[in-house]
Amino acid sequence: MKIEAYAKVNFTLDVYGTRPDGYHALRSVVMPISLADTLEIETTADGSITSDTGYDDDLCVKAARVLRSQISNLKSQISDFGAQGSDFGAQVGVSIHVTKRIPAGGGLGGGSADAAAVLRALNELWELELPLPELAEIGAQVGSDVPALVLGGAVLMEGRGERVQDLRLKTGDLNLVLVNPGVHSSTREVYAACRAREKDASSPTDAMVAAMKAGDFAQIVAATSNDLQAPAVKLHPEIADALTSLRTAGATGVTMSGSGSCVFGFAPDSATAERISADLNFRGLQSWPVTTRLS
């Protein structure tokens, strides 16, 4: 089975205090974008779970393992488990080939997107027929961004990432320009350097959700925000340069995604997004014109 794994940007990311598990509590609007890895997934009969990404901590493999380990629990909930029989969990493996386009460690959720695509594909290949919210819950065991990407569409993400809500937007897709400053931004380091918001402080995420529900482009552009941007810029001045280049080239609402280092901005139409991106490429920056992917 061939499946596209769409990257994401965070239109907002509010960081609140640390939780008992050491993670920060977040509120974020997560938006899938058209930049994607392509995964080819085949089941194997010998029980092996492999991928060719070459990453030590491969989220594709982790996703398949977590889902398979859940199968015995799921079996009690699923009345008809097809012809697979009782030893299904132990025997069925999967081989995953990834054509990588999403830069790793860029705040675009590359590894999480691949993991989410594996969960969705195996849900079909293994005939599990799990509803997406249940698959998203399993995804929370794989990584913080996985539940939002399993759901797809514009998602309000809360907690550590495990509480997700499809915003069910029906507005048209938006044109964006991405820039990769080419530095690796460590998620752990950026969170550690971030000053958390007060619990009852206003939430930029609420303003974004309202703007998106109203379908108001100017308000959406004005509402972008990321609490991790200031600490990330302090750690990596290259991110500040990328933000400035994107603004100077004509993008609006220019903001960093996730814990960085990639940044994005809006363009009023696809021709403008392409022109801005070509401009930045010409000046030696890695840049892509992309669109949001609501469906």
Residue 152 or 161 with smaller CB distance to ligand C5P: 161
Residue 145 or 211 with smaller CB distance to ligand C5P: 145
Instruction: Single out the residue of 144, 255, 257, 277 in contact with ligand C5P (rule: CB under 6 A).
Output: 144
Handedness of CA 184, 187, 192, 193 (dihedral sign): positive
Are the CB atoms for 38 and 52 separated by under 8 Å? no
Residue 126 or 191 with smaller CB distance to ligand C5P: 191
Q: Which stretch binds ligand C5P (CB under 6 A): 19-27, 66-74, 90-98, 231-239?
A: 19-27
* Closest approach of ligand C5P to the CB of residue 190, in Å: 8
- The one catalytic residue in 14, 37, 114, 145 is 145
Is 37 known to be catalytic? Answer: no
26 near ligand C5P (CB under 6 A): yes
Alpha-carbon span 137 to 51, nearest angstrom: 23
Instruction: Single out the residue of 8, 24, 236, 293 in contact with ligand C5P (rule: CB under 6 A).
Output: 24
Q: Summarize as ranges the residues that interact with ligand C5P (CB under 6 A).
A: 23-24, 26, 143-144, 160, 187-188, 191
By annotation, the residues acting in catalysis are 8, 145
